[in-house]
Structure 1
Amino acid sequence: MKNASLMKYGLFALIVVLGVALDQWSKWYAETWLATERPGFFSHPIVLEVPEQAEGTTVEAYLTETFEANTPEEVKTIAQLYTRTEDGQQLHPESELEAGQVIEVTNREVTVIEGYWDYQYTRNPGAAFGIFADKDSSFRKPFFLAVSLLAVFIILGLLRGVQNDQRLLLWALALIASGALGNFIDRARFGYVIDFIVWKYTDAHRWPTFNIADALICVGVAFMVIEMIRDVMRERREGAKLEEV
């Protein structure tokens, strides 16, 4: 019995660690390789230092090699409109670069599936769908930090009651905890959550931008609902058997 309990908590901890690691790595990618400039809200450029081997190459050629996930047309647009020197001077596609030079790219997105799935950097100071995003930060940050920690403590309390045969429920609680901790880390570090995954049907219909932590929470909730349905069905089957007896 004791070994089974240790295995339960060990599996829970492993799932949480892997989930948080995946979430934080994906946000590092978004922060490092995606750029957005929203005047009046925030500016997040990609900062690149030109390596020695790129000495004398043009802006367009360097960005083509650096941004392999973008099409040549997208790279040309970035080079024409969204590339500048460190002091803010606009660069052109044919501008030649020097080794050690620092350049900034002010806008870069990545298309995963044309018309359906993009990576676009944004910041969400609120909850899901931007709830409370307009509240004062002196209230918003401690409120969300407290809610995230409370959610984790509630999950740990529920975990104590999980039976050995309720593996799906264990995964559900671990995934929800992973997502809550992932977004908690963002709010503690920055005061906002990094979102970057865009699902859409053309540009006319867009799901609110989200991140891996949000996805983990949604999958966890779905697992929990499935486990609840299974429990109801199991109780009905057992009730039917008793009636037959």
Structure 2
Amino acid sequence: MSTPSLTNGPARLGYLLAVGGAWFVADQLTKHLAREGARRPVTVFESWWHFHYVENRAGAFGMFSSFSEAWRMPFFYGVGAICIVLLIGYFLHTPPAMTLQRWSLATMIGGALGNYVDRVRLRHVVDFVSWHVGDRFYWPTFNVADVAVVLGAALMILESFRAPRQQVSAG
């Protein structure tokens, strides 16, 4: 099996910038709005959805919250950068015909960059979407970047269950 060529690089990068860039801009814009105006909770639906500004200094679901910031921040910087580079490499080697996979990867890259920029610039990630069921079950507060990463990963998983495509050989 040969590695797909990286021909038509500008088109691939344009696609990545369009899809990933749209997620990145949406994430950064909504976080800006949350920082500027939603420091007080805003009710969307009383019993289950609020906007509530949170500065997340830990990882997803509060992971690594008990570790010192001196250890946590370099860890997040290193792992975040490695993940973004690997996702970009995977994207650039994904054949153009695999549209859903390319869209999923670009979506994850946009989301990962959104949270990475927060960590580097603010030393925390801005979260603001709070979902809950009454006063009993609270989902961890999240942001648009988190939605992009989870949506992209879920679509990649769904794509993996699809029937493999027949490769057409030139010859």
- Normalising TM by the smaller chain, what interval? 0.7 to 0.9
Unmatched 5+ residue regions in structure 2?
A: 167-171
* Contact 1:119–1:198 (8 Å) recurs in 2: yes
Q: Which residue of structure 2 aligns with residue 38 of structure 1?
A: none
Q: Contact 1:124 / 1:133 at 8 angstroms: preserved in 2?
A: no
**Matched residue of 1:234: which SS?**
coil
Q: CA RMSD in A?
A: 1.6
How many Å separate the matches in 2 of 1:188 and 1:207?
25
Query: Is residue 2:42 matched to residue 1:110?
Result: yes
Q: What displacement does 1:147 show?
A: 1.0
Q: What is the CA distance between 1:136 and its match in structure 2? A: 1.0
Higher relative contact order (CA 8 A, sep 6+): 2
In structure 1, how many angstroms separate the alpha carbons of the residues matched to 2:104 and 2:88? Answer: 12
Query: Whose radius of gyration is greater, 1 or 2?
Result: 1
1:23 paired residue number: 27
Equivalent residue number for residue 121 of structure 1: 53
Distance (Å, rounded) in 2 between the aligned partners of 1:215 and 1:177 = 12
Taking structure 1 as the reference length, the TM-score comes to 0.62
Which residues of structure 1 form unaligned runs of 5+? 36-107, 239-245
Give the TM-score normalised by the residue count of structure 2.
0.88
For residue 8 of structure 1, report the CA deviation from its aligned partner: 2.5
Letter in 2 for 1:17: G
Q: Match for residue 133 of structure 2?
A: 201
Counterparts of 1:157-196 in structure 2, within 5 Å, are 157-196=89-128
Compute the displacement of 1:170 (Å): 0.6
The separation in 1 between residues aligned to 2:109 and 2:92, in whole angstroms, is 14
Match of 1:134 among 53, 66, 69: 66
Structure 1 Cα separation of the partners of residues 38 and 91 of structure 2? 37
Deviation of residue 124 (structure 1)? 1.0
Please say if residues 27 and 145 of structure 2, whose CA atoms lie closer than 8 Å, have aligned partners that are also in contact. Answer: yes
Q: Matches of 2:141 and 2:135 in 1, distance apart?
A: 13
* Pair 1:150 & 2:82 matched: yes
Q: CA deviation at 1:134?
A: 2.1
Alignment of 1:45-124 (within 5 A): 108-124=40-56
Shift of residue 149, structure 1, vs aligned partner: 0.7
Aligned residue pairs total 161
* 1:183, distance to aligned residue in structure 2 (A): 0.7
Report the AA paired with residue 27 of structure 1: K
1:92-147, Cα deviation, whole Å (9 max, x unpaired): xxxxxxxxxxxxxxxx2111112111100111111100101221111111110111
Q: Does 1:34 align with 2:38?
A: yes
Deviations 1:142-198 (A, max 9, x none): 110111110111012212321121111011111111111111111111211111101
Q: Percent identity?
A: 33
- Return the letter of the residue paired with 1:182: G
> Which whole-Å CA distance do the structure 1 matches of 2:92 and 2:120 have between them?
28
